[in-house]
Structure 1
Amino acid sequence: MVDRGASSRACEPHIAVIGSGSAAFAAAIRAAEAGARVTMIERDTLGGTCVNVGCVPSKILLRAAETARARRHHPFDGVPRTGGTAVDRERLLGQIRRRVEALRESKYQRVLDDNPRIELIHGHARFEDDHTLVVSLTAGGVRRLATDRVLIATGASPAIPPVPGLAKTPYWTSTDALFHSEAPSRLAVLGSSFVALEIAQAYRRLGSEVTVLARSTLLSRKDPAIGQALQAAFEDEGLRVLPHTAVAQVTFTGGEFTLSTRHGPIATDRLLVATGRTPNTGALDLEAADVATDERGAIRVNERLRTSNPAIYAVGDCTDLPQLVYVAAAAGTRAAVNMTGGDERLDLSVTPTVVFTDPQVATVGLDEGQARSAGIATTSRRLELENVPRALANFDTRGFIKLVAEADTGRLIGAQVLAHNGGEIIQTAALAIRSAMTVHALAGTLFPYLTMVEGLRLCAQTFTRDVSQLSCCAG
Structure 2
Amino acid sequence: MSSYDVAVIGSGPGGYVAAIRCAQLGMKTALIEKYSTLGGTCLNVGCIPSKALLDSSHHYEDAIKHFEEHGIEVGDVKFNLEKMIARKQSVVDVTTKGIEFLMGKNEIDVYQGVGSFKDATHIDIAGEKNLTIEAKNTIIATGSKPSTLPFINIDKERIITSTEALKLPEVPKHLVVIGGGVIGLELGQVYKRLGAEVTVVEYMDRIIPTMDGAQSKELLKVFKKQKVKFALSHGVTAVERDGDEITIKATNNKKGVDVEFKADYVLVAVGRRAYTDGLNLDAVGIKTDERGKVEVNEHLQTNVSNIYAIGDVIKGAMLAHKAEEEGTLVAEILAGQKPHIDYNLIPGVVYTWPEVASVGKTEEQLKEAGVAYKSGQFPMRALGRSRASGDTDGFVKILADKETDEVLGVHMVGARVADLIAEGVTAMEFRASAEDIARMSHAHPTYAEAVKEAALAATEDRPIHI
Could you state the TM-score of these two structures normalised by the residue count of structure 2? 0.92
Query: For residue 455 of structure 2, what is the aligned residue in structure 1?
Result: 460
Which of the numbers 105, 109, 124 marks the counterpart of 2:100? 109
Query: For residue 131 of structure 1, what is the aligned residue in structure 2?
Result: 121
Query: For residue 19 of structure 2, what is the aligned residue in structure 1?
Result: 28
Where 1:248 maps in the other structure, the secondary structure is strand
Deviation by residue 1:357-413 (Cα, 9 ceiling, x = unmatched): 111111111112212333421111222223223223333321121110101111111
Query: For residue 219 of structure 2, what is the aligned residue in structure 1?
Result: 230
Structure 1 unmatched runs, 5+: 7-12, 471-475
Q: Tell whether 2:267 aligns with 1:267.
A: no
Which of the numbers 49, 57, 67 marks the counterpart of 1:57? 49
Q: Sort the Cα spacing of 1:260 and 1:85 in 2 relative to 1 into closer, same or farther, 3 A.
A: farther
* Deviation for aligned residue 1:70: 0.7
Q: What is the distance in 2 between the residues matched to 1:114 and 1:101?
A: 18
Identity %, equivalent residues: 30
Q: What is the distance in 2 between the residues matched to 1:146 and 1:78?
A: 62
Structure 2 unmatched runs, 5+: 252-257
Q: Trace 1:276-425 onto structure 2 (pairs within 5 A).
A: 276-425=271-420
**Is the CA contact 1:191–1:213 (under 8 Å) kept in the aligned structure 2?**
yes
Q: What is the distance in 1 between the residues matched to 2:289 and 2:74?
A: 52
Amino acid at match of 1:97: Q
Deviation by residue 1:266-307 (Cα, 9 ceiling, x = unmatched): 111111111111111133122322322222111122332212
**Is the CA contact 1:352–1:430 (under 8 Å) kept in the aligned structure 2?**
yes
Q: What is the distance in 2 between the residues matched to 1:434 and 1:347?
A: 9
**Is the CA contact 1:187–1:268 (under 8 Å) kept in the aligned structure 2?**
yes
Which of the numbers 246, 251, 254 marks the counterpart of 2:235? 246
Q: What is the distance in 1 between the residues matched to 2:463 and 2:341?
A: 39
Query: For residue 255 of structure 2, what is the aligned residue in structure 1?
Result: none
Q: What is the distance in 2 between the residues matched to 1:469 and 1:320?
A: 42
Q: What is the distance in 1 between the residues matched to 2:105 and 2:374?
A: 53
Q: Sort the Cα spacing of 1:433 and 1:400 in 2 relative to 1 into closer, same or farther, 3 A.
A: same
**Is the CA contact 2:67–2:73 (under 8 Å) kept in the aligned structure 1?**
no
Moved more, 268-277 or 278-287: 278-287
* Deviation for aligned residue 1:308: 1.9
Q: What is the distance in 2 between the residues matched to 1:439 and 1:406?
A: 9
Where 2:96 maps in the other structure, the secondary structure is helix
Report the count of equivalent residues.
457
Q: What is the distance in 1 between the residues matched to 2:304 and 2:77?
A: 55
Query: For residue 151 of structure 2, what is the aligned residue in structure 1?
Result: 163
Q: What is the distance in 2 between the residues matched to 1:166 and 1:95?
A: 26
**Is the CA contact 1:72–1:83 (under 8 Å) kept in the aligned structure 2?**
no
**Is the CA contact 1:360–1:421 (under 8 Å) kept in the aligned structure 2?**
yes
Which of the numbers 159, 169, 172 marks the counterpart of 1:181? 169
Q: Trace 1:135-150 onto structure 2 (pairs within 5 A).
A: 135-136=125-126, 138-140=127-129, 142-150=130-138
Q: Sort the Cα spacing of 1:200 and 1:306 in 2 relative to 1 into closer, same or farther, 3 A.
A: same
Which of the numbers 199, 212, 218 marks the counterpart of 1:211? 199
Q: What is the distance in 2 between the residues matched to 1:469 and 1:334?
A: 43
Q: What is the distance in 2 between the residues matched to 1:131 and 1:228?
A: 51
Q: What is the distance in 1 between the residues matched to 2:71 and 2:196?
A: 25
**Is the CA contact 2:380–2:447 (under 8 Å) kept in the aligned structure 1?**
no
Q: What is the distance in 2 between the residues matched to 1:382 and 1:413?
A: 14
* Deviation for aligned residue 1:446: 0.8
* Deviation for aligned residue 1:212: 0.8
**Is the CA contact 1:174–1:274 (under 8 Å) kept in the aligned structure 2?**
yes
Could you state the TM-score of these two structures normalised by the residue count of structure 1? 0.91
**Is the CA contact 1:42–1:121 (under 8 Å) kept in the aligned structure 2?**
yes
Q: Sort the Cα spacing of 1:78 and 1:352 in 2 relative to 1 into closer, same or farther, 3 A.
A: closer
Q: What is the distance in 2 between the residues matched to 1:398 and 1:315?
A: 36
Q: Sort the Cα spacing of 1:409 and 1:172 in 2 relative to 1 into closer, same or farther, 3 A.
A: same
Amino acid at match of 2:463: V
